[in-house]
A and B are shown apart, each in its own frame.
Chain A
Amino acid sequence: MNTPIIKVSHLEKNFGENKVLVDIDFETYKGDVISIIGSSGSGKSTLLRCINLLEKPTSGSIYFHGQDIQEKGFSLQEYRARVGMVFQNFNLFNNLTVLDNCTVGQIKVNRKSKSEAEKFALEILNSVGMAQYIHAKPKQISGGQKQRVAIARALSMEPEVLLFDEPTSALDPEMVGEVLSVMRNLANSGLTLLVVTHEMAFARDVSNRVVFMDEGLIAEDSTPDIIFNNPKNQRTRIFLDRMLNQ
């Protein structure tokens, strides 16, 4: 294939003495839907947060279309506008309405006019089923609704890649479905997704690649079929046994 959208090379991240990412090599191509699985503390979220530099890597490089994102002169703002992120705790802007959450980035970063931004935001909010709530404040809507708005906010920037950091982990069980169904639609639309998740069904059925992380390393990186039915790594097997037989 052509150049990867995101390429991670020898990435290392320490928090003090604690080595969270040991040596990560990893590539993402256009249209990939990659699920990153693994037990807590294996470094999944840190990897995702390093990719858009919310955490600064200790060493190693990250390339976006072949360009080193840590280079001096690289526009981090522009990069982040093209690589969206959805957080576990939604992190909707509490002082803004649902609509404004989805327009503030378009107006401030992408320099769109207010009416243009609102029109596009409305379109996207409609596609995640939240168009009726445009005038609501985040505290007035449920967790599942917040996460759908958060996805809409990320989409409003027209990103090439979306990073999901355990998007359903903070939700009540009955709200997980509505968020996963939005993510399924996104996967089918051809958008490139990197999803840190504990939802094994999503990893198995929706993604085209599954990455299993263990103690700061990528232990296995393969198709869902191989990971779930015939894992090569002993630790993958143990992890999946535990996850699937709960």
Chain B
Amino acid sequence: MPASFFEWVVFFAKKYGIFFLKGAGTTLYIALISTILGFLIGLAIAVIRTTPMDEHDSQAKKAFYKIVQAIFVAYIEIFRGTPMIVQSMVIYYGSAELWGLDMSPIVAALFIVSINTGAYMAEIARGGIISVDKGQYEAASSIGMTHRQIMISVVLPQAIRNILPSIGNEFVVNIKDTSVLNVISVTELFFMSKSAAGTYMRYFEVFFITCVIYFILTFTVTRLLLIVEKKMDGPDTFVIHGSQTVPSAVLKGTR
């Protein structure tokens, strides 16, 4: 039997290395997929919530729009206002109890983390859309673009760029918070660690390793996102390479 702290760490790393890696893989998989799905859910909700109503629209359409808005607000408030660990229990066991749904833990995990993230993302994305300078929208309107065209070509690309740090934040939070899914037996990193630790009753050594793995995961992700941001922004200056030949042209203003 290992005697010192470091001997235990080495022992666990050797014996359970593959377990830790599997757990880390599951954690990363759930966090990544759920962040992407949550982002898509949030973006869709934000786009709908920021769509202006036309005064020519019918009463029925306006009423329908109000109901949809209310549903979104309820969704956002409920999922932001309750702990994910509780949501997991309610959804996993509730769906089995009420509808006889036999979700595998991993599917349940993806579902729970996605809709939980979606609630946060909806507000983040709405903030991103609102933060795009009003002049951008006006300029696009002034050349005759429709609301949909403006959103797709002008507003959303800028909004998404602006909320990238917050999306990264959510991703990091998700990597860590998937640990609560051990309550529904998802075999992610925390669950694997607990099993390993329980076998030898060595909690400190095992969770020290777990801690290091979580940190490596989150740190790598934040670095990668920073690179993506830099790449999206491009350089601040523009250099003209050589002389470009362009067709000589006259002003053509009139039709």
Hey, which bits of chain A sit against chain B, CB under 8 A?
A: 52, 54, 72, 76-81, 84-85, 87, 89, 91-96, 104-105, 108-109, 122-127, 131-137, 139-141, 150, 153-155, 157-160, 162, 185-186, 189-191
Q: In angstroms, how far is the closest chain A Cβ from the Cβ of B59?
A: 16
Q: Is B251 touching A78 in the complex (CB atoms < 8 A)?
A: no
User: Shortest 9 CB-CB distances between A and B: which pairs?
Assistant: A81-B144, A191-B253, A91-B139, A140-B238, A105-B143, A91-B135, A123-B249, A136-B238, A85-B142
Docked-complex contact B139 and A108, CB < 8 angstroms: no
Taking a contact as CB atoms closer than 8 A, the residue among B56, B238, B253 that contacts A141 in the complex is: B238
Q: Which residues of chain B come closer than 8 Å to A153, judged between CB atoms?
A: 139, 143
Partner of A155, one of B136, B139, B141, B253: B253
Find chain B residues with CB under 8 A from A186 CB: 251, 253
Q: Is the CB of A123 within 8 A of B252?
A: yes
Contact between B140 and A189, CB atoms less than 8 A apart:
no
Is A109 in contact with B144, judged by CB distance below 8 angstroms? yes
Decide if A132 touches B143 in the complex (CB within 8 Å).
no
Cβ distance B238 to chain A, nearest Cβ, rounded Å: 4
Asked if residues A105 and B247 are in contact (CB atoms below 8 Å), the reply is: no
> In the complex, what's the smallest C-beta–C-beta distance from A163 to chain B, in angstroms?
8
* B153 CB to nearest chain A CB (Å): 6
B85 interface hit (Cβ, 8 Å): no
Q: Are A133 and B240 in contact (CB under 8 A)?
A: yes
Given A80-B144, A108-B153, check contact A126 B249 (CB 8 Å). Answer: yes
Whether the Cβ atoms of A104 and B246 lie closer than 8 Å is no
B residues within 8 A CB of A95?
154, 157-158, 161
Residues of chain A with a CB closer than 8 A to B199's CB: none
Given known contacts A91-B139, A186-B253, what 8 new A-B pairs fall within 8 Å (CB)?
Answer: A87-B135, A87-B138, A94-B158, A125-B246, A140-B237, A159-B253, A160-B254, A189-B252
Q: Are B141 and A54 neighbours in the complex by a CB distance under 8 Å?
A: yes
What's the A-B contact tally at a CB cutoff of 8 Å?
126
Cα separation A131 to B255 with both chains bound (whole Å): 22
Instruction: Give min CB distance, A144 to chain B, whole Å.
Output: 15
Closest-CB distance, B169 to chain A (whole angstroms): 22
- Per-position contact with A for B119-134: 1 when CB-CB < 8 Å, else 0? 0000000000000010
The interface bits of chain B over 141-171 (1 if a CB of A lies within 8 angstroms of the residue's CB, else 0) are: 1111110010001100110010000000000
| B235, A140: Cβ atoms closer than 8 Å | yes
Bound-complex Cα distance A140 to B239 (A): 9
- Of B136, B237, B246, the residue contacting A131 (CB under 8 A) is B246
Contact residues in A for B238 (Cβ distance below 8 Å): 133, 135-137, 140-141
Chain B interface residues toward A at CB < 8 A: 56, 133, 135-136, 138-146, 149, 153-154, 157-158, 161, 234-238, 240, 243-244, 246-255
What's the minimum C-beta distance from A36 to chain B, rounded to whole angstroms?
A: 17
Residue of A nearest to B240 (CB): A132
Within 8 Å CB of B246, what residues of A?
122, 125-126, 131-132
Whether A158 lies near B252 (C-beta < 8 A) is yes
Q: How far, in whole Å, are A154 and B253 apart by their CA atoms in the complex?
A: 10
Q: Is the CB of A52 within 8 A of B142?
A: yes
| Cross-chain contact B236 with A140 (CB below 8 angstroms) | yes
CB <8 Å contact, A80 and B143: yes
Q: Which A residue's beta carbon lies closest to that of B55?
A: A56
Taking a contact as CB atoms closer than 8 A, the residue among B141, B158, B243, B250 that contacts A127 in the complex is B250
- The answer to whether A105 touches B144, judged by C-beta atoms less than 8 angstroms apart, is yes
B133, B153, B236, B255: the one contacting A104 at CB < 8 Å is B153
Identify the closest chain B residue to A76 (Cβ). Answer: B144
**Contact among B138, B149, B157, B254 with A191 in the assembled complex (CB-CB below 8 Å):** B254
Q: How far is the CB of A152 from chain B (nearest CB, A)?
A: 10
Sampled A-B contacts (15; CB under 8 Å): A54-B138, A81-B144, A94-B133, A105-B143, A108-B149, A122-B246, A122-B247, A126-B249, A127-B249, A131-B246, A132-B244, A158-B252, A158-B253, A185-B251, A190-B253
Q: Which residues of A contact B235 (CB under 8 A)?
A: 140
Which of A89, A154, A160 contacts B143 (CB under 8 A)?
Answer: A154
Task: Give Cα distance in the complex from A94 to B210, angstroms.
Answer: 43
